[in-house]
Amino acid sequence: KMHVGAAVRVFSLETVAAIRVAVELKELPGEALSTAAFIKLVHDWFEMVNSKKPLNTGLILTTISICDLSHVLFKHGYEFILTHRYTQDGVENVFSQVRRRAGKLPSSADCLNVIKLISVSQFISDVKRTNYCADSDITLVEHCKNLSSSVLKSGPSNSHLDHNYYFDAFSLNSYGLQTVPMQENYIELDLKSLNLIYNIGGSTVNSCIKKCCSTCQTLLLDNGDDEYSEQIKSWKSYKNFLNMGGLKEPSIAVVQLLVNCELTYKQFRGHIMHNGALDVVSKIVQEINIEFTCNSERGCTLKHDIVHHYFVVRNYTVTNFSKYTKKKKTVYGSASRK
């Protein structure tokens, strides 16, 4: 079975940006940039040929390719060309028959033998069930379910979750949260994590800016004049590689609040995974001394919205929250009761 959604996510700008950041941080050799260039080439090609707008680059590229190929064939003695044969339906039909007879992961020898059999027997037929999955129904987290059992043994198991876990062991009220000031480096967070936090900050701003007043909108966006803007320049590498124009830059106050959220998440991760994050969100909103003052009559709850959005995104990437992908807001509230 082909997972188009997983392939789209692998051959994406996110993967390209991640590889470039890893090379910049010396976690991958410089040769990995060639892989990033190849992935970007595949991504750009896929975007062009899947464009929905008429007469766009995808249509032009496909038409030119057919014309060039037809010219080559006519030059070598062909008298006519059936252009409908260039569609992929026939190829997918063959692939489905190969997988039907040789299994989901056939070897090269299996493919060769089955293709010989198909060519001789001529029993190609349509398959009722589709070979594709919807792009929105699969994530890289769900792909981990197909890993080998040896890898899964090292990860958490949903079946062992108990929603009373840590609930009676301690009360969150007995722990006071201290506001961590803004600084260039943190002992608990490496530069890779800080890049991801900054990128989530842009997503948070994009989500919250639609629901707040004009005064709060200025508090969300980076104006470039803050004294910390130059210090955290190294945090922006992933976002800069990913940005093709139009991505929002979070303000220093938003970034500082998200850093405090991540440090709190690391401290209470076990409690959050088993009991949900609502009580932790409330505690951060009450005790972390980073304020977003709203002067409008509507009274925007900007601080709560930022923290809430961060934990929704943060928990969505954890195994315990990946089972019900279409109900992530419900799962966020109480993970263990699903």
Q: Which of 73, 101, 135 is the last residue of a domain?
A: 135
Residue 77 reports pLDDT greater than 80 = yes
User: pLDDT tens for residues 209-221?
Assistant: 888 887 788 888 8
Q: Quick one: which of 209, 250, 208 has its CA closest to 232?
A: 250
Residue 335's φ and ψ, nearest 5 degrees, are -65, -40
User: pLDDT tens for residues 212-260?
Assistant: 887 788 888 866 666 676 777 778 888 878 777 777 888 888 888 888 8
Question: Is residue 21 a part of any domain in this protein?
Answer: yes
**320 and 276 Cβ atoms separated by less than 8 Å:** no
* Band of residue 34 on the pLDDT scale cut at 50, 70, 90: very high
User: 32 in helix, strand or coil?
Assistant: helix
Mean pLDDT of the chain: 74
Give 31: exposed, middle or buried? Use CB within 10 Å, 0-12, 13-18, 19+: exposed
Question: Is residue 102 a part of any domain in this protein?
Answer: yes
Q: Same domain for 170 and 290?
A: yes
What domain count does the chain have? 2
Q: Same domain for 87 and 187?
A: no
- Say how far apart CA 283 and CA 174 lie, in whole Å: 11
Q: Same domain for 267 and 194?
A: yes
pLDDT-above-70 percentage for the chain: 71
C-alpha pair distances (Å), 316 with each of 55, 142, 236: 38, 11, 23
Q: What is the pLDDT of residue 325?
A: 40
Question: Is residue 143 a part of any domain in this protein?
Answer: no
| pLDDT (average), residues 18-44 | 90
Domain that holds residue 179: 156-337
Most confident of 19-33, 120-134, 143-157, 289-303: 19-33
Q: Same domain for 36 and 97?
A: yes
Q: Same domain for 54 and 199?
A: no
Residue with tokens 């803004």: 182
Q: Same domain for 84 and 198?
A: no
Question: Is residue 193 a part of any domain in this protein?
Answer: yes
Residue 59 reports pLDDT greater than 70 = yes
Six-digit token string for 263: 């440090």
Question: Is residue 141 a part of any domain in this protein?
Answer: no
Position 142, amino acid: E
Six-digit token string for 203: 């997503």
Q: Same domain for 58 and 167?
A: no
Residue 149 reports pLDDT greater than 70 = no
> Range with the lowest mean pLDDT among 30-39, 89-98, 123-132, 249-258?
123-132
Six-digit token string for 237: 């590498």
Q: Which residue has the higher pLDDT, 10 or 84?
A: 10
Q: Which residue has the higher pLDDT, 4 or 76?
A: 76
Q: What is the pLDDT of residue 223?
A: 67
**102 and 94 Cβ atoms separated by less than 8 Å:** no
Residue 154 reports pLDDT greater than 70 = no
Q: What is the pLDDT of residue 159?
A: 43
* Band of residue 173 on the pLDDT scale cut at 50, 70, 90: low
Residue 278 reports pLDDT greater than 70 = yes
Question: Is residue 150 a part of any domain in this protein?
Answer: no
For the chain, the straight-line distance linking the first and the last C-alpha, in angstroms and rounded, comes to 28
> What DSSP string runs through 161-208?
--TTTTTTT--GGGSPPPPPPP-S--SSS-HHHHHHHHHHHHHHHHHH
- Say how far apart CA 297 and CA 231 lie, in whole Å: 36
| pLDDT (average), residues 113-125 | 70
Q: Which residue has the higher pLDDT, 239 or 317?
A: 239
For the entire predicted model, the pTM comes to: 0.56
> Range with the lowest mean pLDDT among 229-243, 304-318, 322-336?
322-336
Residue 279's φ and ψ, nearest 5 degrees, are -70, -35
Q: What is the pLDDT of residue 2?
A: 60
Q: Same domain for 193 and 98?
A: no
Q: Same domain for 226 and 309?
A: yes
